[in-house]
Amino acid sequence: MCGIVGNVLARADRTPDLAVLKRMNDRIAHRGPDDEGFLVQGPAGLGMRRLKIIDLTTGHQPMAGEEGRVSVVFNGEIYNYRELRENLGARGHAFTTRSDTEVIVHGYEERGLASVGDLEGMFAFAIWDAPARTLVLARDRLGIKPLYYAVLPDQIVFASELKALVEHPAIDRTLDLTALSRYLAHEYVPAPHSIFRAIRKLAAGHWLTYSDGRVKIEPFWDVHFRRDGAIGEADAVEALRGALDLSVRQHLVSDVPLGVFLSGGIDSSAVAAFAARHFPGRLKTFSIGFEDPSFDETSHARGVARALDTDHHEEILGPRVALDLVARLPELLDEPLGDASLLPTFLLSRFTRRSVTVALSGDGGDELFAGYPTYQAHRLARALELVPHWVRRGLLRPVVERLPVSLDNLSFDFRLKRFMAGMDFGPVERHAAWLGSFTPAEQLALFTPDALARMEMAPSYAAFHEMLAHAPSASGLERMLYLDLKGYLGEGVLAKVDRASMACSLEVRVPLLDRRVVELAASLPMRLKLRGFTTKYVLKRALSGVLPREVLERRKKGFGVPLARWFRAELAPLLQEACAPDMIRRAGLFRPEAVERLLGEHAAGRRDHRKKLYTLLAFQLWASRYHPA
């Protein structure tokens, strides 16, 4: 696992500034504390920081091919590198290391851009093809590893994280107001935008080429909900069990100590169960918990660890540890992210890093197999739509709004109020409203008239419709699965896990997002994922006999923190300071009275604004650190 940076100039007679590359590289030292390397060759400059995982002695980067014509810097892991190495060796390529990085170089020498499709793994890499004077950037299929870039009139600059890119003196820090609006709507900035107007994210499953100042971006993979033929339930269960077993086994390849994040939920428990089968020796598992019982899952993790006989490590934290971390958010996030589970994810990563360098995670199961309550809610909403609109608005909603506010994790009133609020929209907008923070109407009341006038596009849920334009094969609830794979997972969860773990120099791998598992899941009919109101039906069937029944039957909880309570107590001073009327007025983005209303209603217990307030706080803390123009 590494971090990469680079700068390629349009003119062949100019050379990148090595001092600038070094400054950029220093900003991502946490991603790779073990080694660094640079290449300046003609108009191209590449840099990297390395966390040694595979081939600890000879895996130095940038790495060149046989004749030094092709060089690569690479962040990630290629799980099928041994097979690729064997095939490329048979075709005459000479390998000088045991590193997975080298198969990228020789694969490109052999097959050009088509070689990207041969890679099974998580990756973001840059190839400099000197004879063709071409830079190639590529990002893995699901976007597990990040990659940002900026195309300027005379050059391209790229890096694993925004904080490295903005070290380049040519990068303009002007805020993208449309991206900010989309952040407030979804709690992340959807690709290809970033929070800065001049910077873009390379979308998952895409490559980019830059040659003589010309840029070309193309997809090399996407999720397709195809029906090659009716598959029976028994065959689906058997195929899924085999795909999971193979993926987890390949994800165990490492030359350094490895363990598994274990929450006690279905997904992480499944990963731990298959890993325990293949791991040489006793598998290490890790969990953290909180003293607030409505947010603590350690007893469930402990039960799974006992059933699998793992070497289980557990840490229980008081509120102070996570509270202190909130003020450090801008250190962890160089782009706003409105997901407070970043805090426990960082704490779990820090705890895990004391024992191992690599951890396997269960992320992805909910998006592949319809595990979120929102999928059940969509089914319920379809039935409720038969009730006349005036009854829903005039009778049901007022009753729901009068329910007393509870501050517990996923409390009944919190879920019911969000459900009823979503009933004002069509299915796609409803999905966005259920998951996000500020609806377009709420944004119109939040932004100043000046900020709204300067937006290229008025607040909307257009980002979801843009995503769905790439998924013509999806229908019904599959459209929501696609949105969650591309949006909530791809832009939110995976970004959160990458930043939180890399801040601790811990590599996190996600076996459930192996291409073969994803493609198998996408090929299965919806009735095998959501059977009536039973979520993850086929996954639970595949895990029958692998995991204890109580794990498969337990209600989903999520990895949260007691924000609603903290915003009325311990976090109130930080919230008031970051969102003070003078601060808000000076920035000129939000109406101070609108922010004051949110703060006042939450503090008085009249409304639960935990999501809105955290999304605002994360942006305010980010802006105080990065000073966007």
Kindly name the residue from 2, 24, 551, 598 that is annotated as catalytic.
2
How many other CB atoms are found less than 10 A from the CB of residue 468? 16
- CA–CA distance, 423 with 400 (Å, rounded to integer): 13
Structure tokens at 161: 């994280």
Query: Helix or strand or coil: residue 20?
Result: helix
Sheet architecture: strand order including 121-129? 63-64, 70-78, 121-129, 134-139, 206-211, 214-219
User: Residue 415: how many CA atoms within 13 Å on its side-chain side?
Assistant: 11
- CA–CA distance, 202 with 194 (Å, rounded to integer): 10
Structure tokens at 422: 């979503």
Is 579 known to be catalytic? no
| Surface-to-core class of residue 487, CB atoms within 10 Å of its CB (0-12 exposed, 13-18 middle, 19+ buried) | buried
What is the rounded radius of gyration, in angstroms, for the C-alpha atoms of the chain?
Answer: 24
- CA–CA distance, 57 with 213 (Å, rounded to integer): 37
Query: Any idea of the CA torsion for 229, 230, 236, 242, to the nearest 10 degrees?
Result: -20
CA dist 125 → 158, 183, 223, 503, 513 (Å):
10, 26, 21, 20, 19
CA dist 364 → 217, 369, 477, 606 (Å):
26, 9, 17, 35
Residues belonging to the active site: 2
